[in-house]
Chains A and B, each alone.
Chain A
Amino acid sequence: MSYLQILALACLGAALGFVLRALRSPLAAFVGLVGGLALLFFLLPRLGEPLAALAALCEAGGLQDTLSAVLRMLGVGFLTAFAAEICRDLGESTLATRVELCGKIEILLLSLPALTDLFSLVGEVAL
């Protein structure tokens, strides 16, 4: 699917959501949700190749662990934002804020190994 088809799919989802809301269907929010999921399905494989190329570069440079940690943090941030938006769409804005808090804690936990490496490196250089 080309990028224009992805955009057209998003507009189709929005139009169908509008129709369902006009008909007072309880499923109006779900159409938007499914449209968003379909968009993600088409975007993520396109990210796969550049990320693989970046991974190959980092293996050559010896930064494999750092790259995998950074990629995980990216994925967590991305998915946390998506899940929070789903909660907000379905009307649960406090749940959305809690999901974002969980995402922040998860990213902090993922960054701890890199931070401890950095501080030990700074300690070695300073002493």
Chain B
Amino acid sequence: MDVSLVLKVAGVGILVAVAQQILSRTGREEQSMLVSLAGIILVLLLLVGEIGRLFELVESVFGF
């Protein structure tokens, strides 16, 4: 877990933003919404694993 995770999330965010704007400008609103949703779900899946690791780390440091 280092800089790469922040960069991955930012990269997914940029792709989703660009795809969302292109798709909504060419009139495909539903596809743009689906792309946003897919991006959010992808980032949440990445996050959930990291939050789990964070809580394990906190448990080991604070002795829960």
- By a beta-carbon cutoff of 8 Å, the part of chain A in contact with chain B is 1, 9, 12-13, 16, 19-20, 23-28, 30-31, 33-35, 37-38, 40-41, 44-45, 47-48, 51, 55, 68, 71-72, 74-75, 78-79
Contact = CB atoms under 8 A, between A and B. Distances in A.
Given A12-B3, A37-B51, A38-B1, A72 B63 contact: yes
Of A33, A55, A72, most B-chain CB atoms within 10 Å = A33
A34 B50 contact: yes
B17 interface: yes
Interface residues of B, number: 34
Contact of A38 (B3, B21, B40, B60): B3
Interface of B: 1-3, 5-7, 9-10, 12-14, 16-18, 20-21, 36, 39-40, 43-44, 46-47, 50-51, 53-54, 57-58, 60-64
Contacts of A20: 10, 13-14, 17
Contact of B5 (A23, A27, A34): A34
Contacts of B43: 27, 30
A78 B59 CA distance: 12
Nearest to B39: A27
Given A30-B47, A38-B6, A75 B62 contact: yes
